[in-house]
Amino acid sequence: MIFFIIMSYQARADMFDWGGIPEKEILTYRSVYKGIDVVHPDPRPLSMRYGASEAAVNTEFSIRHAGNDPTKPLEVVVTVVSQNRYTSRYYFGFKPGPKINLVYYEKTVFTPAGKKVRTEAYDYTESVPPFPGEMAHPLILPVLFCGLDFTRGKSREFYLWLNPILIMTMKVVVKGEEDVTVPAGTIPCYRLEMEPDMRDFGGEILARVLKPFAPKYIFWMDRKAPHPMVKYQGPFGQINIAGAPIEMSELVKKSN
């Protein structure tokens, strides 16, 4: 979902609470793109062409945990089918306890015929220096955000992990309430806006200069508990400029 160049990180934040995460839930989303033809992308630049081939067609979140028992770990499996018809399956493991503490990540890629072609894994507890405990991966943001305090104006800072050397301080703010229409219907939602902390690029002064260029990511969360994500919208690619392609994920159905 999210791509950005990171230089350093400096803020501190608390880990997310369990919040309203259900004991078991399956959420299915479709992806929509504006400003780019991901089926027949322009071959220039080459990076955009390859990015378009790996753009998601649909995404499924499978969430499991043992109710209110804090000794049982949360598990999240995310399955993404891309434009090139390859399937990526992501497994996220968390430390047991009252806080959402990501400790393990694994990604496995399959060809359209079902052949496994690549696996990568990270045990965040084995890193030297250690990763911050309040860290998130882009694909688990819909899970974390369902436990937010949705009072208008409330904000939250956390670290976003993109790869072992790209970690960004992010801030998410509750902007208000909106009704959103997606394939699953018209749903009353809370609107959240997330931006990177531009101080990570070199302090307060440079942050003011870069602020207008900061990418903005918008999440609409169902106002009805357990507050699943209904829609996501953000820039497609690495640079958030006027007229940049837009990527959206829209809820198709949910089940348990």
Domain residue spans of the chain: 16-255
Structural fold of domain 16-255: YmcC-like fold (2.40.360)
Amino acid identity for residue 76 in this structure: V
Helix boundaries (H) for 113-216 = 141-145, 204-210
Determine the pLDDT at residue 249.
93
CA of residue 110 relative to chain centroid, distance: 21
- As given in the structure block, the two tokens for residue 238 are 């690495």
pTM, entire model: 0.84
CA angle (135, 20, 225) in 5-degree steps:
135
Rounded CA separation 229/223 (Å):
10
pLDDT in the model for residue 49: 67
Separation CA 83–CA 113 (nearest Å)? 14
Which pLDDT score, from 0 to 100, does residue 183 have? 96
pLDDT band at 219 (very low <50, low <70, confident <90, very high): very high
Is the pLDDT at 146 greater than 60? The verdict is: yes
Neighbours of 130 (CB within 10 A): 9
Q: For residue range 69-128, list pLDDT tens digits in order.
A: 556 667 888 999 998 899 999 998 888 777 778 888 999 999 999 999 999 998 888 877
| Averaged pLDDT score across all residues of the chain | 80
- Lowest-pLDDT range of 106-120, 136-150, 173-187: 136-150
Give the pLDDT confidence score for residue 3 in this predicted structure.
37
Quick one: which of 89, 88, 93, 101 has its CA closest to 64?
93
CA nearest neighbour of 15 among 141, 158, 161: 158
| pLDDT at residue 194 is higher than 60 | yes
Alpha-helix runs per DSSP H in the chain: 46-53, 141-145, 204-210
More confident residue, 54 or 3: 54
| pLDDT tens per residue across span 198-212 | 656 556 665 566 666
